[in-house]
Structure 1
């Protein structure tokens, strides 16, 4: 008896979608993986008659496959993929904002987003307010007559402060605003913002979506197809479409997304618990810890786990932090996160360098804050590396004090 094939486009299980959604065997050769359509243009049958593609700045079959998969994971009508995460944020802003408009952003948010709002949008007379979106009252107080958009990041980069999406969504609906959530840290494997009332999901696919430090990319996904159409129009005007090869690599990364996020989360929790016990650590930020201030919200909003990012404050001055980061061996000092390798970052001088020092300190990004993107190595090896770095720092500072 022949086995009945499963229609994976209707498959409801997230893990299966990660593998099968949006792609099919090549009808010409039977190749299991989709081809890389490395082409500029496409032969048209006649004037005004084509096979859905005309020029790769507008659309490309490999990029479309990635977009179909992401849309299946987020359960949106479609997705729009970009060259980078900040290109996605730029297209989002240019699609929905005009001169005289106002945008509300989380106070703790990626430094590149802050720079874009302050240095680029401001030139086009679009103003931005950075508020504590974990407090709905502060969000409502910041809403002006010209406010059009609320952009939140949860968990926030790098302090992991959470925003209750449902509460902010109530405000966005009350005032007829568009609510966008940057879901880069958790992905649809651990959080689906649209289920909590968000209108748009934003990604740097560079991070966990790819997961292998192999590509840069971004994506926008809206529950309203008219918004997706605006994003595609803006992307075409800006020329910021994702490249075919990087889209193809990202498709391969997504296949293991649920497994990776599960292990990232388990490893991060183990490392966070270790850090809590170390005498050189002042404070640890991780939503999976029972003493995390918003642990209850994390339990309610996240889907069973809390991701692979940890932030922690070191005791001592900025030199202590520099000495510590320069002493790690297994952990790589790098400006990225979400990869299978453990990456360590000093936000004040790296990812959030564009934010003025006074503003950084007000939102908890001090000189002693370290961000750790916990990878898929054995957690014992990660802890051992951190431990030897702490020992070296303690030894150096002891010698200096003698």
Structure 2
């Protein structure tokens, strides 16, 4: 509709088309117009579905949420602006002053910081315990314990949590079990099938898969918890960008193919590294020398996923020489890209920990985490051979 001077009073409808787009349209609009106050009431009160203000939801976020809901087998998920936003929504949106939460003693560095510094500042007590030892977790439970947060496979030492045991413990004690499924992805592991109450993802990583998106996701099996999480995300402005959601959907279309290729190469690379002089140890869940091998084979159904960790002999000098010698590989604190990336926890994700605390976790200066990408396996192994040789020469 245009006024007499020809200025645009409100947008004309999109041109009619008897066909539909193959690619989901990008919807960057921040605001959505309603016809009347009654119509707006109908939206807010749930009688009709519609959008109002993009902080409260938008089409591209809904598309991504529904795709992940289907992958995890649980409806009602919420997409957030980052993986840490999803973690924060769970911890800050569901816990209150006086509550107690137990975290796995091996978590992503920022999750560890949240547990160690931010929650206590708000009067929420925290304890870290080995998620592979149900008795140790049980011993850490208090009357005020409301939640246990673990990673199915830990970052970066690839320890495998006893999810089945923890789920039974949480059920017996009326405690929420929250599983960060970022490393394993729904292709490698489905936490709800093993008794989890809430599942978290950093979509930024293997799900989107191209290092050009920053998003998170969280879903609970209790619809009332999903509502609480959604309200908290909207209130605190954790809403994702439509463009990032649009890119993430594109990445998710090839996710299963990328997962299988990267996982197969990870198996090859782990075995190759184990045979190189100068490599002190290799950590990969399906290798028989993994400390949690039997649990990994049972819990992950034989899937090791795309992450490999290893330790070089020597300290920081060897680590520097290794990254300089890894020609064509990106040394970057990320994972899940189409290209293989190297991460050094002591200088990135876990740098906030003291050297003593890193040593307790087995994170020496020679420890590296590899996110295996889609390169030719033979070529990738050759690059690592040269890089390890450079580190040990």
Normalised by the size of structure 2, how large is the TM-score? 0.92
SS in 2 for 1:67: helix
Structure 1 residue 42 displacement after superposition = 0.6
Contact 1:84 1:217 in 2 (8 A): yes
Query: How big is each residue's C-alpha offset from its partner over 1:173-205, in whole Å with a ceiling of 9 and x where there is no partner?
Result: 111111000000111111000000000110111
Partner residue in 2 for 1:18: none
Query: How big is each residue's C-alpha offset from its partner over 1:128-184, in whole Å with a ceiling of 9 and x where there is no partner?
Result: 111111000000000011111100012100000001111000111111111000000
Aligned ranges 1:378-397 → 2 under 5 Å: 378-395=376-393
Structure 1 residue 27 displacement after superposition = 7.9
| Structure 1 residues not aligned, in runs of 5+ | 1-25, 396-402
- 1:38 aligned to 2:38? no
Alpha-carbon distance in 1 for matches of 2:361, 2:392: 28
Partner residue in 2 for 1:98: 96
**Stretch of structure 1 that moved more, 343-352 or 289-298:** 289-298
Alpha-carbon distance in 1 for matches of 2:38, 2:124: 38
SS in 1 for 2:55: coil
Partner residue in 2 for 1:279: 277
Structure 1 residue 326 displacement after superposition = 2.3
Alpha-carbon distance in 2 for matches of 1:238, 1:28: 40
Alpha-carbon distance in 1 for matches of 2:318, 2:99: 43
SS in 1 for 2:54: coil
Partner residue in 2 for 1:264: 262
- 1:347 aligned to 2:337? no
Query: How big is each residue's C-alpha offset from its partner over 1:218-262, in whole Å with a ceiling of 9 and x where there is no partner?
Result: 000111111111110000110111110100111111111111111
SS in 1 for 2:350: coil
Partner residue in 2 for 1:49: 39
- 1:152 aligned to 2:150? yes
Partner residue in 1 for 2:173: 175
Contact 1:331 1:382 in 2 (8 A): no
Structure 1 residue 48 displacement after superposition = 3.8
Query: How big is each residue's C-alpha offset from its partner over 1:300-350, in whole Å with a ceiling of 9 and x where there is no partner?
Result: 111442111111111122211222122211221001001110000111111
- 1:207 aligned to 2:205? yes
Change (3 A) 1:296 1:49: same
Contact 2:167 2:194 in 1 (8 A): yes
Alpha-carbon distance in 1 for matches of 2:350, 2:17: 47
Alpha-carbon distance in 2 for matches of 1:61, 1:28: 21
- 1:253 aligned to 2:251? yes
Partner residue in 2 for 1:22: none
Contact 1:330 1:382 in 2 (8 A): no
Contact 1:112 1:354 in 2 (8 A): no
Alpha-carbon distance in 1 for matches of 2:17, 2:163: 42
Partner residue in 1 for 2:133: 135
| Runs of 4+ off more than 3 Å | 26-29
Change (3 A) 1:67 1:360: same
Change (3 A) 1:29 1:117: farther
Normalised by the size of structure 1, how large is the TM-score? 0.90
Contact 1:114 1:355 in 2 (8 A): no
Contact 2:296 2:302 in 1 (8 A): no
Aligned pair partner of 1:363 in 361, 364, 389: 361
Partner residue in 1 for 2:371: 373
Structure 1 residue 388 displacement after superposition = 1.1
Alpha-carbon distance in 2 for matches of 1:360, 1:131: 15
Alpha-carbon distance in 2 for matches of 1:293, 1:275: 17
Superposed CA RMSD in Å reads 1.4
Change (3 A) 1:30 1:255: same
Query: How big is each residue's C-alpha offset from its partner over 1:288-310, in whole Å with a ceiling of 9 and x where there is no partner?
Result: 21221211111111144211111
Alpha-carbon distance in 2 for matches of 1:144, 1:28: 62
SS in 2 for 1:248: helix
Higher gyration radius (CA): 2
Structure 1 residue 356 displacement after superposition = 2.4
**Stretch of structure 1 that moved more, 79-88 or 315-324:** 315-324
Aligned ranges 1:274-313 → 2 under 5 Å: 274-313=272-311
Alpha-carbon distance in 2 for matches of 1:62, 1:69: 11
Aligned pair partner of 1:73 in 68, 71, 74: 71
Query: How big is each residue's C-alpha offset from its partner over 1:98-157, in whole Å with a ceiling of 9 and x where there is no partner?
Result: 011111011011001011222221211112111111000000000011111100012100
